[in-house]
Amino acid sequence: MVEAGTLEKGDAHVVITNADKREIAVKSKLERIYGDAIRKTVDEMTSHIVGKIYVEDMGALDWVIRARIEAAIRKFRGEEQ
Amino acid sequence: MNLRRTRLYIPGNNPHLVENAGLYGADCVILDLEDSVPLDQKFDARILVKYSLRNVDFGRSEKWVRINSPDTPFWKADLEEVLPYVDVVNVPKVESYEDVEMISEIMDEIEDKHGVEKRKIVPIIETLKGLTNAREIANHPRVVAMAWGGEDLTAELGIPKKKALILDHVRAEIVIASKSHGKMALDTVYSNIRDEEGLFEYARRARYMGFDGVGVLHPNQVEVVHRAFRPEEKDIEEAKKIVEAAEKAMKEGKGVISLNGRMIDKPVLERARKILAFAEVD
């Protein structure tokens, strides 16, 4: 399991865990307005990943979510800190 | 002329603070990857800072990133991630010309790879060794200004920072080292963010010591420092007359500038231009 980001206001927390199939779950404070857009971003950025991807959005802007997803993907690939 | 009266520190791993950083009118915004970022967040922070530099409108603020110091395993990765998107790299704990050169060489490689212009460096002098070598450090072509910090210096000397009389000498040395190479000198932060009057006096003192700016920790400090660095009205009026006289002399093809029968030499003209820049007069 790898994670990136925080649960602070304006941030997003991304967790990727090993799994046999691809699965995306998104929880957002602003689900009704941004839920679909966030799911689309997550799907696009993680299309090559087989695993469970969980994103909890704390009201983050799009670039913040993207930054946190990239950090999680790179950690999942084993990039050293 | 680039003004660097205020450089506002923003923790690099806090998106909420980063996204608003350009709203406060600071001359420079420093997205910090060093002291304000815990070890287990360094990786996330440098990626967040990269995205912010590409997406956030920092307004008229010059975009700086404070990377981790050259004695840590983080500084190269910091540069690789953010360098193409910054204006200035702020390097803590610089101790020698060789430190700057080592960083500059890595910057060369990254700039070539991304096809971007040479970025600037502002080293922070924080140790006795760094202070001893400050005049050489200021001479590096990438260095546009020098800043300093007192924590490590006073720890090395074994004296409490608030009572360290030697810090006035350190300040003077930073100004002399920087100015002797035509670079800016930048004073450290005033840490009591609630003491507006104290900050104003601190910034005024920095200005009269020869500094071009001070670090700020809170957006509310920006306006106070800008006010402290604003020249007196009579100096602004005098500077306007000097610059007008210089422009008139240039139009008329005269080699000598004179005002009210007094010859104006180059340093006086330069000072006048600087006064107008600090007064934010075009």
Closest listed residue to residue B170, CA positions, set B122, B208, B134: B134
Stretch 8-37 of chain A: residues touching chain B, C-beta under 8 Å: 8-11
Domain tally, chain B = 2
- Ranges under pLDDT 70 in chain B: 282
A42 by DSSP, 3-state: which?
A: helix
Q: Look at the pTM and tell me if it is higher than 0.90.
A: yes
- Whether residues B238 and B176 share a domain: the answer is no
Distance CA(B18)–CA(B38), nearest Å, equals 16
- On chain B, the residues whose CB falls within 8 A of the CB of A60 are 15
Is residue B1 a part of any domain in this protein? no
Is residue B220 a part of any domain in this protein? yes
Interface touch B47/A9, C-beta < 8 Å: no
- On chain B, the residues whose CB falls within 8 A of the CB of A75 are 43
Strands (E), chain B: 6-11, 28-32, 62-66, 88-91, 120-125, 145-148, 184-187, 213-216, 257-259, 262-264
- On chain A, the residues whose CB falls within 8 A of the CB of B48 are 64, 67-68, 71
Other C-beta atoms lying within 10 Å of the C-beta of residue B183: 19
Instruction: Report the complex ipTM.
Output: 0.96
The range of the structural domain enclosing residue A58 comes to 2-76
Q: In the structure, what pLDDT confidence band is assigned to residue A80 with cuts at 50, 70 and 90?
A: low
A37: Cβ contacts below 8 Å, ≥ 6 apart:
A62
| pLDDT given at position B251 | 86
Instruction: Find the CB nearest B43 among A62, A63, A81.
Output: A81
We report the CATH number of the domain holding residue B70 as: 3.20.20.60
Judged by phi (left if over 0) then psi (alpha if -120 to 50, else beta), residue B278 lies in alpha
B258 by DSSP, 3-state: which?
A: strand
Partners of A5 in the beta sheet?
A: A13
Q: What is the interface size between A and B, counted as CB pairs within 8 Å? A: 51
Comparing alpha-carbon positions, the chain A residue that sits nearest to B13 is A5
Q: In the structure, what pLDDT confidence band is assigned to residue A81 with cuts at 50, 70 and 90?
A: low
| pLDDT given at position B282 | 57
Is residue A81 a part of any domain in this protein? no
- Whether residues B217 and B260 share a domain: the answer is no
- Whether residues B171 and B265 share a domain: the answer is no
Q: Is the Cβ of A66 closer than 8 Å to some Cβ of chain B? A: yes
